[in-house]
Structure 1
Amino acid sequence: MEEEITIDLKILLKALLNKGWIIMIAIILGAATMYSYSSYAKTPLYQADVKLYVNNSTFSLGSTSYSISSGELSAAQSLIETYIVILQTRTTINEIIDEGNFDYTYTEMVSMISAASVNSTEVFSVTVTSESPSDASAIANTIGLVLPESISNVVDGSDVRIVDYAVTPVSQSSPSTSKDTIMGAMLGLVIAVGIIVVAALFDNTIRSEDYITQTIDYPILAFIPEDGANTSYYGKKKTKIGNR
């Protein structure tokens, strides 16, 4: 027969309240650790983005012709996805590297670039993430110059225009010290509460007569006072339990 385990929420709550100082220390240590790691160990990254506008009334891709109007946003979305694929090709990335004379390989450069449409519109944003804020903006603006020509070489009748040039970022995009600190505090809280709860669940100490009758369900034969006074169930007397 499997042994049933009864969880007394009052006992767990009392254990948490009694060990509240441990929880506070764990929260402080977790927050301080993640703050230090975020501030001194993580490499700061900066982001710059250039925004481009897709304006095609008609275009052809291969032997297939398409038409698009300002109201056909779903078609514009498909077109933007095509342009993003062209952006990430080795040919386009190498042209960007050569144009800007950047000291990056294709693999390094493509990992720094991400692109997506802006709020499901015909505008898409190309974001560059770099350890150098000046490199981030320079690469983004070089993309704005190179990409329209690269697209026109593949997609007939394409019309991609720059809406907004990238500017050199003045603040880092990551890591976020405040977010990391909060995460560290939450992690410390979870670990401390988890340890205290597990310890309470595996604590077999008999604390009261009610605990015996309700949890263990054994008959009580006698009480043995430790100090001659039967005043409390908590450390003041011993309980002798009989066998059923």
Structure 2
Amino acid sequence: MTEFNSISAVQEDDEIDLAELFFVLRRKIWIIISCGLVGATIALLYTMFLIKPLYQSSSMIYIFSKTTTVTSAIDLQIGKQLTVDFEILGKSRPVLEKVISDLQLDTSYESLLSTISVENPTDSRIIKIAVKNQDPQLACDIANSLAENLAARVAEVTDTTKPSSVEQAVPAIRPISPSKSKNTMMGGMVGVLLAIAVILVMYYSDMSIRSEDDVRKYLGLGTLASVPFEKSISEGHESKSTKKKKAKKKK
């Protein structure tokens, strides 16, 4: 029975702590909101002025060449297996180094490889080439050059004519990253969480005794009586003592 009562007391204290914690945060709600707004503003300004935008352009080529027939397609195992070959060839060193040479790019094979993607859309016989760059025109030129060199490389490897181009890349008008709205939201959330964390740390580190509940909670003691503090009486006492000091100085 005693153990049950102690467990109930602990649960009751936890409920009181949660309720008290809620009121503590509610009293500081304007600080939390202000920190959220500051965090969102900082994130927005950082995104607008310090992060360089990235643009993406894409081109597409068709797997089958103009001379490919159904029979030769079967012989060459054209299908899903060949699309994988196209993806590998699109990222191969000879193809990318040819792109670097044609466009006279001041970059390396590894750097260019990190900015491109070669993929096959589901249930299609099309290879999509996407290129990201801070310069929208350069991203477009790289995508078109990569598609051209990939098609030439495929024709060379498979000993067929070049695959047909489905779509030429065009310069992007809007950047794909960074997202102002996403970064602003994340900055606001970080500001709110930091404010809550600071408030909770200050609250739990403050061991001041302010009420009878605090005496019971922190000291485990009961109180016999409490004396209320009247601010007006305190202020009147202070004003009287101040007058007496001034009167003594005059004498």
TM-score (norm 2): 0.73
Q: Where do 5+ consecutive residues of structure 1 fail to align?
A: 70-75, 230-244
Task: Sort the Cα spacing of 1:170 and 1:219 in 2 relative to 1 into closer, same or farther, 3 A.
Answer: same
User: CA offset at residue 10 of structure 1?
Assistant: 1.1
Q: Where do 5+ consecutive residues of structure 2 fail to align?
A: 1-9, 233-251
Q: In the alignment, does 2:29 pair up with 1:26?
A: no
User: CA offset at residue 199 of structure 1?
Assistant: 2.4
Separation (CA, whole Å) in 2 of partners of 1:204 and 1:160:
76
Match of 2:157 among 126, 139, 154: 154
Q: In the alignment, does 2:131 pair up with 1:128?
A: yes
Q: Is the contact between residue 95 and residue 146 of structure 1 (CA under 8 Å) also seen in structure 2?
A: yes
Which structure: larger Rg? 2
Q: In the alignment, does 2:94 pair up with 1:67?
A: no
Separation (CA, whole Å) in 1 of partners of 2:203 and 2:19:
11
Q: In the alignment, what sits opposite 2:58? A: 49
Partner SS for 1:225: coil
Q: In the alignment, what sits opposite 2:187? A: 184
Q: In the alignment, what sits opposite 2:91? A: 88
User: CA offset at residue 38 of structure 1?
Assistant: 0.7
Q: In the alignment, what sits opposite 1:35? A: 44
User: CA offset at residue 157 of structure 1?
Assistant: 5.8
Q: In the alignment, what sits opposite 2:107? A: 104
Report how many residues are paired.
215
**Seq. identity, %:** 27
Q: Is the contact between residue 86 and residue 127 of structure 2 (CA under 8 Å) also seen in structure 1?
A: no
Separation (CA, whole Å) in 2 of partners of 1:51 and 1:213:
74
User: CA offset at residue 24 of structure 1?
Assistant: 1.4
User: CA offset at residue 96 of structure 1?
Assistant: 1.5
Partner SS for 2:157: coil
Separation (CA, whole Å) in 1 of partners of 2:164 and 2:209:
77
Q: Aligned-residue CA RMSD in angstroms? A: 3.0
Match of 1:139 among 139, 142, 147: 142
Q: Is the contact between residue 59 and residue 158 of structure 1 (CA under 8 Å) also seen in structure 2?
A: no
